[in-house]
Amino acid sequence: MDNDPAHETVSSVADAPSSRRRRRKSGSKRAATWPEYWRSAQFGQHVFAAMCLIGAAYAGTILWETRFYSRHYPPVTMGVSESEVRYMLGEPDSVQDGGRLYRFSETGRELAARLSDDGRLTAISCAAGEKSPATCPRVRGIGIGTDEYDVLRTLGAPSRETYRGNDKTLHYDGMGLALQLQQFDVEQIQLHQGSSFSGYFPNALFAMIP
C-alpha cells in the first residue's frame, strides 16, 4: 500500500477546486419544490426585487400626480390659448381687466380665469358657488371645505402664508398652488403658472411618507 504523504498532499490539493465547484453548484441549485423555494435565498431575493419595483411604481405615481396637479386644473391646463379656455369652460359670464379676466358662474362654483397679454391662461381660481355642494375640482385630495390640518398633512408646510382681512392664504409656490382659507377651512383654490420640478418634487416626496 502506498502511504506516501506527498502523494496524499498532491491528491488533496487537486481535489480542492473540484470540491469548491461542487459546493458552488449545490449552493446555486434551484429549489425543486415550493417548500424548498420558500426557505431558499432565491425567495428572499425575489421578494426584495418585487418590493423595489412596487416602491418605484408608487413613487412614480405620486410624482406624476403632483406634477399633473401643478399644471392642470380640470378641464384646463396652464398656458392654453384663449380659444381653448372658451372651448373648455364655455362663454364667460363677465369679462374684466381689459379682456384678461374671465369669470364663470356655475352651479356649485365660481371660476375666474386670468389670461396673459398674449392670450394664454396664466391662472385659474375656483370658489364655492351659491348653491351647495361645491363642485370645484380637488387638488391632491384638497377641495373646498378641507380642514387646514388636512392640507398640511397632505401637502406639508407652505412656502409662505399671507393674511387679508379674515382670510389666510397658503402659498405652495413650487407647485403654483394657493389655497385661501377662512376659519381653518379652504374656501378658494387657485392654480397659476410657476410650477417647477424643484418645487413639486419635495411635495411629492412628502406625500410618500406614511
Q: Based on DSSP, count helices (H) and strands (E) in the chain, helices before strands.
A: 6, 10
Smallest CA-to-CA distance from 197 within 97, 63, 95, 12 is with 63
What pLDDT is recorded for position 133?
Answer: 83
The x, y and z cell numbers of residue 170, run together, are 397658503
pLDDT digits (tens, 9 = 90+) for 15-45: 545 555 554 544 455 666 777 777 777 777 7
Residues 64 and 81: their CA atoms lie apart, in Å, by: 24
pLDDT band (50, 70, 90) for residue 176: confident
The x, y and z cell numbers of residue 3, run together, are 502511504
For residues 15 and 158, the model is more confident at 158
What pLDDT is recorded for position 130?
Answer: 77
What pLDDT is recorded for position 85?
Answer: 93
pLDDT digits (tens, 9 = 90+) for 2-17: 555 545 544 444 454 5
CA distances from 108 to 76, 90, 136, 139 (A): 18, 16, 7, 17
pLDDT band (50, 70, 90) for residue 169: very high
The x, y and z cell numbers of residue 19, run together, are 470540491
What pLDDT is recorded for position 124?
Answer: 94
Alpha helices in 29-77, H assignment, sequence order = 34-39, 41-71
What pLDDT is recorded for position 155?
Answer: 85
**Residues 6 or more apart whose Cβ sits within 8 Å of residue 187:** 127, 128, 144, 145, 167, 180, 181
Residues 157 and 17: their CA atoms lie apart, in Å, by: 62
What pLDDT is recorded for position 186?
Answer: 96
CA distances from 45 to 31, 42, 59, 104 (A): 13, 5, 21, 57
pLDDT mean across residues, the chain: 78
pLDDT at residue 204 above 70?
Answer: no
The x, y and z cell numbers of residue 27, run together, are 449552493
CA 140 to chain centre: 8
Q: Which helix (H) or strand (E) holds 202?
A: helix 197-208
pLDDT digits (tens, 9 = 90+) for 58-92: 555 555 565 666 678 889 988 899 999 999 999 99
Domain boundaries, the chain: 1-74+137-210
Asked if 114 contacts 50 with a C-beta cutoff of 8 angstroms, the reply is: no
Relative to beta strand 167-172, strand 160-164 is antiparallel
3-state secondary structure of 157: coil
